[in-house]
């Protein structure tokens, strides 16, 4: 379900033509967003010098045609933004699709480069193509209906790659361009913080014996754990998260600090629950009394009572639909779903580890092939200090590649680049297939855990009510015995 957007770039106010293009290209080639340039492809230009090459073509265009670049009217270059739904493909696959779109849109007549960015939950690419043709005799002119033509071409490319498309775009956009959050609506994927809060609730629902056991459960669910300066942070690399999220109220909200989690594990507080599960069909019910004690008023109590009744009814309906009328069966199925999810999570992590290893090996093989002649000449000169000084950078790259081989291969035969590329393609396909299953299993597990937690709370409500009544009676007696 890819969306595309075509934009013409003009000269920025107060800047030269060269500076205007450089600013835009520097943004697109940001090393943080493109994995240090790994997610960049180009056609008939070098991305690092594309601004100068595009500028040179405009000078040739003027010499050939006699026409001059108009400062306020003419176009420097065009940019296409193509975005894909989260989880449908990875950044590398998105880059390949966008490169094909650029080639077919320009018909190979314009130089371009494509960048794939990883700074958002959804894969998206930016295509920058020169407004001047390769032969410098004509320019691309934006035409009436170019947006529709680009969208149809994008849909055709997506269909050929077995990707989803928007069947009725007018029903979605109502004539206005929307970003992916607006396109997806209620299907918008949860943020990294929401995923973390949901997993914390799930791990606490399993009642870990200690905080260390809780951290182990989080790691088993696919989250990296970092403890530094007395703070605990988590990261979910399986969902593309790059930065760690710390346990603190300002980030995750009340009840998700380390102290609050420890209090739940030690039985000194009730689980927060429910806040991060709002996007699922079955949500955790709310501890109304605990909320009222924190300062919630009568209006909140009325709303929460109705909300809890709806969630309990939804949970009971779920049990009927899935034939889980025995509590022992529900408990067994919940445990099986949790184990299945953890097993798939381990497989996903394993494939991602193999992909990282493959990528590191491919980079090392490439560096080794480029610098081996230099090192052989260095060895032939008797390891000359003068030669080392002149070629220190190349020799350092060669030795780094050799160190990578020793660390990863441990004496095994060096694989060929073709074999590594084939392995990378196979692993990427396996990852895509496994991720679809992983998401479905995760959704089923979350729903089942929420149902079980609600049923457990339903069974314990009478006992909790008795405990509260007894506490209130003791409070009333103590108050009556106080001297006036």
Total Cβ atoms within 10 A of residue 386: 8
The reply to whether 183 and 194 lie within a common domain is no
Question: For residues 437 and 269, what is the distance between their CA atoms, to the nearest angstrom?
Answer: 35
Which of 187, 219, 234 marks a domain boundary?
187
Give residue 97's pLDDT: 92
Q: Which helix (H) or strand (E) holds 227?
A: strand 224-228
The reply to whether 379 and 448 lie within a common domain is yes
The reply to whether 90 and 183 lie within a common domain is yes
Q: Which helix (H) or strand (E) holds 6?
A: strand 3-9
Low-confidence ranges of the chain (pLDDT < 70): 1, 69-73, 167-190, 249-250, 270-297, 299-300, 303-304, 306-307, 459-484
Total Cβ atoms within 10 A of residue 120: 14
Residues 6+ apart with CB under 8 A from 112: 42, 43, 44, 45, 102, 106, 127, 128, 129, 130
The reply to whether 303 and 412 lie within a common domain is yes
Give residue 223's pLDDT: 87
Question: For residues 106 and 113, what is the distance between their CA atoms, to the nearest angstrom?
Answer: 12
CA angle centred on 300, ends 299 and 303, rounded to 5°: 90
The reply to whether 22 and 69 lie within a common domain is yes
Give exposure, 168-204, as e/b (b: 16+ Cβ within 10 Å). ebeebeeeeeeebeebbeeeebbebbbbbbbbbbbbb
Could you give the residue ranges of the DSSP H alpha helices within 123-233?
Answer: 146-160, 169-173, 180-184, 192-205, 211-220
CA-to-CA separations, 336 to 139, 216, 316, 333, 343, in angstroms, rounded: 62, 19, 20, 5, 10
Give exposure, 347-376, as e/b (b: 16+ Cβ within 10 Å). ebbebeebbeebbebbebbebbeebeebbe
Domain membership of residue 201 as a residue range: 190-279
Could you give the residue ranges of the DSSP H alpha helices within 381-391?
Answer: 385-390
The reply to whether 436 and 453 lie within a common domain is yes
241 and 235 Cβ atoms separated by less than 8 Å: yes
For CA atoms 138, 140, 142, 145, give the dihedral sign: positive
Give residue 471's pLDDT: 58
pTM over 0.95: no
Tokens encoding 49? 């010098």
* Residue 128 CA, distance from chain mean position: 23
Give residue 21's pLDDT: 83
Which of 238, 255, 279 marks a domain boundary?
279
CA-to-CA separations, 237 to 118, 196, 247, in angstroms, rounded: 12, 12, 17
Which of 232, 262, 279 marks a domain boundary?
279
Residues 6+ apart with CB under 8 A from 261: 200, 204, 211, 214, 247
The reply to whether 180 and 214 lie within a common domain is no
For CA atoms 261, 337, 191, 92, give the dihedral sign: positive
Q: What is the DSSP letter of 159?
A: H
Give residue 284's pLDDT: 65
The reply to whether 457 and 315 lie within a common domain is yes
The reply to whether 300 and 414 lie within a common domain is yes
Measuring CA to CA, which residue among 210, 89, 197 is closest to residue 446?
Answer: 197
Question: For residues 453 and 467, what is the distance between their CA atoms, to the nearest angstrom?
Answer: 20
For the chain, helix, strand, coil in percent to 5 are: 60, 10, 30
The reply to whether 297 and 253 lie within a common domain is no
For CA atoms 208, 213, 217, 218, give the dihedral sign: positive
pLDDT tens for 91-128 read 898 999 999 999 999 999 999 999 999 888 888 999 99
Count of domains for the chain: 3
For the domain that residue 174 is a member of, what is the CATH number? 3.30.930.30
Give residue 168's pLDDT: 59
Question: For residues 390 and 392, what is the distance between their CA atoms, to the nearest angstrom?
Answer: 6
The helix/strand/coil state of 114 is strand
The reply to whether 237 and 333 lie within a common domain is no
The reply to whether 182 and 92 lie within a common domain is yes
């Amino acid at each position: 379900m890819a969306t595309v957007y075509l934009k013409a770039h003009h000269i920025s106010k107060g800047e030269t033509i060269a500076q205007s293009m450089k600013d835009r290209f520097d943004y697109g080639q940001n090393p943080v967003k493109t994995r240090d340039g790994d997610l960049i492809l180009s056609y008939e230009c070098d991305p690092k010098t594309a601004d100068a090459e595009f500028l040179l073509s405009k000078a040739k265009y003027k010499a050939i045609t006699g026409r001059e670049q108009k400062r306020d009217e003419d176009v420097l270059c065009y940019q296409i933004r193509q975005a894909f739904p989260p989880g449908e493909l990875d950044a590398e696959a998105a880059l390949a699709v966008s490169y094909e779109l650029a080639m077919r849109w320009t018909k190979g007549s314009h130089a371009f480069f494509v960048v794939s960015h990883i700074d958002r939950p959804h894969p998206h690419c930016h295509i920058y193509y020169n407004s001047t043709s390769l032969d410098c005799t004509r320019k691309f002119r934006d035409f009436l209906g170019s947006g529709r033509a680009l969208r149809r071409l994008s849909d055709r490319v997506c269909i050929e790659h077995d990707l989803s498309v928007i069947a009725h775009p007018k029903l979605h956009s109502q004539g206005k361009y929307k970003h992916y959050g607006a396109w997806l609506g209620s299907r918008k994927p949860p943020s990294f913080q929401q995923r973390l809060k949901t997993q914390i609730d799930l791990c606490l629902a399993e009642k870990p014996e200690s905080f260390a056991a809780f951290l182990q459960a989080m790691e088993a669910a696919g989250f990296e754990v970092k403890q530094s300066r007395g703070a605990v942070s988590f990261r979910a690399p399986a969902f593309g998260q790059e930065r760690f999220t710390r346990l603190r109220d300002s980030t995750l909200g009340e009840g998700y600090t380390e102290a609050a989690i420890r209090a739940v594990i030690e039985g000194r507080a009730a689980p927060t629950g429910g806040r991060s599960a709002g996007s699922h069909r079955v949500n955790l019910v709310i501890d109304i009394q605990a909320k009222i004690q924190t300062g919630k008023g009568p209006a909140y109590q009325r709303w929460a009572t109705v909300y809890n009744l709806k969630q309990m009814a939804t949970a009971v309906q779920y049990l009927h639909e899935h034939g889980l009328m025995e509590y022992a069966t529900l408990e067994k199925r919940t445990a099986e779903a949790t184990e299945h999810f953890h097993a798939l999570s381990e497989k996903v992590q394993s494939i991602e580890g193999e992909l990282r290893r493959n990528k590191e090996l491919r980079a090392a093989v490439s560096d080794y092939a480029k610098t081996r002649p230099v090192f052989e000449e260095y060895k032939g000169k008797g390891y000359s200090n003068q030669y080392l000084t002149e070629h220190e950078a190349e020799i350092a790259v060669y030795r780094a590649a050799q160190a990578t081989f020793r660390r990863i291969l441990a004496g095994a035969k060096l694989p060929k680049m073709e074999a590594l590329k084939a392995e990378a393609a196979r692993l990427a396909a396996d990852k895509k297939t496994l991720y679809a299953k992983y998401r479905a299993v995760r959704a089923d597990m979350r729903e089942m855990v929420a149902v079980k937690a609600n049923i457990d709370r339903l069974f314990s409500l009478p006992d909790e009510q008795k405990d509260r009544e007894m506490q209130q009676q003791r409070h009333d007696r103590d108050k009556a015995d106080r001297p006036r």
